[in-house]
Structures are given as C-alpha cells and as structure tokens.
Structure 1
C-alpha cells in the first residue's frame, strides 16, 4: 500500500517537473536550431522541429510566425517579376502540399484507435 502511494506521488512530481521543463527545453532547442541553420556542421532543422514539437503548435509566438510566413508566401507569389514570382508560387505550392500532408497524417493518427477497435 505504501509503495503504490509513494509511486503515485513520485509519478505526479515527475509529471509536474516535465510539464514545467518542457517549454524551456523546447525554446532552447529552437534557439539552437536557429543558430545551427546557417552552419554547415550542425543540422539546425532537426533541433528546430524538435523544439517546435515540445513547445507546441498552439503557442502564441509559433502561431503568429506561421500565419506571417503564409502571408509572406502569398505576397511573394503575387509579385509580377517573372523569376521571383515563379519562385514564390513554387514555394507557396510546396507549403500547401506540406499542409495537406500534415492534415492527412493527423486525420490518420486520430482515426487509428477506431480502426484498431474495428479490427
């Protein structure tokens, strides 16, 4: 009886510590990723994606940057300059494809328990 109570207390303390440290670790990885992007040795994209996953997509700063990146891509694609506008349209289409694939993967992941229950 005492061991289960002690394990429950330790587990709740560890969960509390993880919830407190997760954003700090996420922002640290985002900073490392941004610093490592132009460097040839450190692959900054991996750290950047891990940091965003830890901080979460519902963070106000991350949502703001995603919206403004999409607005930038729309403006870039609308430029009348042939080469720059074409590159902007290619980048916009790539962003749309990534968004579609992310939504499909998310729908697949959410419907996974239903498929398992049906099988």
Structure 2
C-alpha cells in the first residue's frame, strides 16, 4: 500500500492542486463559490517549484512595483502599501524557512 501511494502521490498532488487553483479562480470571478479557501491550499499543493506559479509570482511583483511608482493620488499609495506588504510576507517566509532548516539540522545532530 505504501509503495503504491508513493507512486501515486507525486502525480495526484499537482493535479489536485491545479484543480483547486481552478476552482479558486472561478470562485474569485463568480460570487457563488468562495475562492480563497480553494486558492491557498491549491498553491500549497502545487508547490514553489512549479514554473507557472513562479512566473505568476514574478509578474505580481512586477505589477506591484509598477503600481507603487504611480503618482496618482489613490493608485500610488495603495501600490506602495501592497508592495510593502509583499516585502514583509516574503521576509517572514524566508525567516520561517530558515527556522525550519535550523530545526531539522539540530534534530539530525542529536
């Protein structure tokens, strides 16, 4: 049973993740389905190594930087706020990854 699951999970995980991302995008567009509860687990299932997700993340960062540079009264401050929030989230994610690596290293040394 464990061997079959080990062969199935690497295929099932991204498939399930992309389905959840699709439902999440539809949920953002359509008012009937809630989008975010499907979007975040879908992204977690697909993983950071996905080329499409990395490309999308770079595009979002580029758009945030572009919006932060706009001098219009409403668009500029909102863009700067969103860019600051993105920087803070990125910083926290790096710290958490570092903490997990240190914890694993300590556990393997013991």
TM-score (norm 1): 0.82
Q: 1:71 aligned to 62, 73, 76, which one? A: 62
SS of the aligned residue for 2:3 comes to helix
Distance 1:64 1:117, change over 3 A: closer
- Count residues in correspondence: 110
Larger relative CO (CA 8 A, sep 6+): 1 or 2? 2
Kindly indicate whether residue 36 of structure 2 is the aligned counterpart of residue 51 of structure 1: no
User: How many angstroms apart in 2 are the aligned matches of 1:60 and 1:85?
Assistant: 30
TM-score (norm 2): 0.88
Q: 1:25 aligned to 16, 22, 25, which one? A: 16
Runs of 4+ in structure 1 deviating by more than 6 angstroms, as ranges, are none
Structure of greater Rg: 1
Q: Which runs of 5+ in 1 are unaligned?
A: 1-9
For residue 7 of structure 1, what is the aligned residue in structure 2?
none
**Which stretch shifts more, 101-110 or 31-40?**
31-40
